[in-house]
Amino acid sequence: MAETTRVVVDGMTCTGCSSKVKEALEIIEGVLNADVSHESGFAIIEHQNVSRETMVSSIQALGYIVDGKGEDFHWKDGAVWKKSAHNTKWCLIGCSIGDFGTIAAFQFIPYLIALEWTPMMIMALAMFNGIMTSIALETIILSAQMALKEAFRVAIGMSLISMISMEAAMNLVDYMLTGGAKLTWWVILPMLIAGFLTPWPYNYWRLKKYGVSCH
């Protein structure tokens, strides 16, 4: 005889999140249907002979909080490392567009060169523009999964800690290797490596602990 179980799922921010939870539940043998809503924060599951613990564990394994409890945190989840690397990659691409573009503009456009901004001023603007272009790129990517307004809301709500640390690492490497805000062919790769590695562990932790990911 079919039963219905309702659980509270925290950490879902969009339809992509609720779809992942629904899929994880419906692959469990004995689960007949799962109605999951990120707006209400509930998963209503119709099933036969499936324990609540089994269903809760499948949701927690995705990184979401169920009934106030999450999966015990650890650093050994290869799938989460891969997913967080994917997220960090897209953030890096977005940040690099604004960051590199700003530095290049002050390096090659005569009008901007004439302003004689200090390297710190240029780097501050580069960091700001990098964050803005990252948010814009995130919005474009997420708009394939949800409405544009919702995509922007999710993108703007993504962790500033990750983006700021990424921008700080890239610009610090640039300053240490070139002595200023400069782009040369040999400094770009070290900047990108530093920009990727610096926030990656934080993105893993955030994804593993809170399930914050919508790519």
Reference 146, options 10, 19, 3; nearest CA is: 19
Compute CA distances 38 → 2, 35, 53, 63, 78, whole Å: 24, 10, 21, 14, 26
Reference 140, options 169, 97, 105, 203; nearest CA is: 97
Encode 156-194: b = buried (16+ Cβ within 10 Å), e = exposed.
Answer: eebbeebbebbbbbbbebbeeebeebbbeeebeeebbeb
Q: Which residues is 47 bridged to in the sheet? A: 3, 31
The CATH number for 18's domain is 3.30.70.100
Last residue of a domain, one of 45, 66, 87: 66
pLDDT tens track for 91-120: 999 999 999 999 999 999 999 999 999 999
The size of the chain, in residues, is 215
Residues 143 and 206 in one domain: yes
Residues of the domain holding 48: 3-66
Statement: residue 32 has pLDDT above 50 = yes
pLDDT tens track for 178-207: 999 999 999 999 999 999 999 999 988 887
For the four alpha carbons of 115, 116, 119 and 121, in that order, the dihedral sign comes to: negative
- The band of 214, judged by pLDDT with boundaries at 50, 70 and 90, is very low
Residues 98 and 121 in one domain: yes
Residues 59 and 82 in one domain: no
Residues 42 and 86 in one domain: no
- The band of 215, judged by pLDDT with boundaries at 50, 70 and 90, is very low
pTM here is 0.72
Flag whether 152 is in a domain.
yes
What one-character DSSP code corresponds to residue 32?
E
Q: Among 7-11, 173-177, 186-190, where is mean pLDDT lowest?
A: 7-11
The span from the CA of 70 to the CA of 73, in Å, is 8
- The band of 25, judged by pLDDT with boundaries at 50, 70 and 90, is very high
Last residue of a domain, one of 19, 44, 66: 66
In the chain, what is the straight-line distance between the N-terminal and C-terminal CA atoms, in Å? 38
Flag whether 124 is in a domain.
yes
Flag whether 72 is in a domain.
no
Residues 31 and 111 in one domain: no
Q: Give the pLDDT score at 71.
A: 66
Flag whether 73 is in a domain.
no
Reference 63, options 13, 3, 133, 11; nearest CA is: 11
The span from the CA of 13 to the CA of 10, in Å, is 9
Statement: residue 142 has pLDDT above 90 = no
Q: Which residues is 9 bridged to in the sheet? A: 66
Q: CB count, 10 Å around CB of 72?
A: 6
Total tally of structural domains belonging to the chain: 2
Residues 193 and 120 in one domain: yes
